[in-house]
Amino acid sequence: MPTRPTACFGLGDWQKPFRLLRRTAVGVLLVAAVAKGSLAAPPALETVPRIPPGTVVSDASAARFNRMVYAAVSRITSGDAKKVPAVIRARVPLFTLAFLATVANTAPAGVAPSYQLAEVGVGYAVPLNSRLTIVDTEAPPAAAGIDMLGRKVLSANGRNLGGLRRVGKTNTLQVIDVDSLVRVGNRHAPLTMRHFIWADPASGRVASCVWLLQKRSAGQLAPLANPPRWLQEGTHDSRSIHVDATKFAFGMPTQEAFAIASLPPGIELTWTAALRQSACLPVYGDDELEQLTAAINEALDPLRAPAD
């Protein structure tokens, strides 16, 4: 019989070996492990840092930001998309939203590696010298060839990054909230897209889990019925943007006219009672992160292959 995980992954200093499990049908690596060691101090609510301009996306040899967690290119494709001026529709896909992580091996030479998630950052990238590269959203380099309207789109995208918040952290995981407009039924709803980003201490690979939260009248957060999704490292999202022409002003779209049509592509998990309870806290300390990661492990259990 396979050994079930007895503790949640992603917490503290990992000492025991990992079992890498592959679900062949989708080719995604899932992990189960036993956590051991002290947890990080309770986190403060912090803004997610911007990735320095000039950082190359997907450069595993770099000292910083050497793992691509997730990248998205938005395309205005659904709803009243044709009512958006073609010059705007053509420029939105020019910019890639990138979540990058710094993963570092903290073990001494000659012993088994022990990787930690040192930092997670966010930025917008464009091709430079045939490599996808983070740029300053207020002053992109001339070599990027971005025209005046493109610069305005990029600048607006960059200002939106200021609202990303880190609500939990240990030395192998971070929980990040992104305020988003998401299409729910026939309306554009202001929701929180929560990202659980985790690094495997044995291999240095990263993975993430993403879900949607809504704010109730009393201010509490609650998960939507949409199931969470488990994402592999380096997930690319061709993100469809839905347009609502009733949110136009004087014939031009406002910010409220655009909404994300769906979560990033990944493996859908089932909402368990434990995951529903722990997925919607406003901020996570040590105990809450342990509960959250245990609940995600439980949701991942049905996807795990039997032990050899």
Q: Per residue of the chain (308 residues), what is the pLDDT tens digit? A: 222 322 233 322 222 222 332 332 222 222 222 233 334 444 557 899 999 999 999 999 999 999 999 999 999 999 999 999 999 999 999 999 999 999 999 999 999 999 999 999 999 999 999 999 999 999 999 999 999 999 999 999 999 998 899 999 999 999 999 999 999 998 999 999 999 999 999 999 999 999 999 998 777 999 999 999 999 999 999 999 999 999 999 888 999 999 999 999 999 999 999 999 999 999 999 899 999 999 999 999 988 866 54
**Any domain includes 18:** no
pLDDT number for residue 307: 55
Query: Which among 204, 238, 224 has a CA at the least distance from the CA of 268?
Result: 224
Structure confidence at residue 303 (pLDDT): 86
Q: According to the model, what pLDDT value does residue 270 have?
A: 96
62 in a structural domain: yes
Please report which helix (H) or strand (E) contains residue 243, including its range: strand 235-243
Residues 32 and 6: beta-carbon distance below 8 Å = no
CA distance 96 to 102: 19
Would residue 84 count as lying in a domain? yes
- DSSP structure string for 54-68: TPBTT-TT-SSS-EE
Q: Global pTM?
A: 0.85
The pLDDT value recorded for residue 111 is: 94
Question: What does the pLDDT read at residue 277?
Answer: 96
Would 11 be classed as within a structural domain? Answer: no
Number of domains in the chain: 1
- Note whether residue 116 is domain-resident: yes
Q: How many CB atoms lie within 10 A of CB 114?
A: 18
pLDDT of residue 306: 66
Q: What are the two backbone dihedrals, phi and then psi, of residue 148, each rounded to the nearest 5 degrees?
A: -60, -45
Q: 126 lies in a domain?
A: yes
- The pLDDT of residue 251: 87
Range of the structural domain that residue 199 is part of:
41-284
CA 110 from chain centre, in angstroms, equals: 33
C-alpha distance from residue 63 to each of 102, 110, 177, 191 (Å): 7, 20, 26, 34
Q: Are 28 and 75 in contact (CB under 8 A)?
A: no
Q: Is there a contact between 266 and 236 (Cβ–Cβ < 8 Å)?
A: no
Full DSSP string of 23-45: ETTTTEEEEE----SPPPPPPPP
pLDDT value of residue 44: 59
User: Using an 8 Å Cβ cutoff, are 271 and 228 in contact?
Assistant: yes
Mention every residue, 6+ apart, whose C-beta is less than 8 A from residue 40.
Answer: 12, 169, 170, 171, 286
Domain presence at residue 5:
no
Please state, in angstroms and rounded to a whole number, the distance separating the CA atoms of residues 237 and 71: 6
Q: CA 31, CA 53: separation in Å to the nearest integer? A: 33
Dist CA 189 CA 214 (whole Å): 8
Residue 35: predicted pLDDT: 35
Query: Is 247 inside any structural domain?
Result: yes
What is the pLDDT at residue 216?
Answer: 87
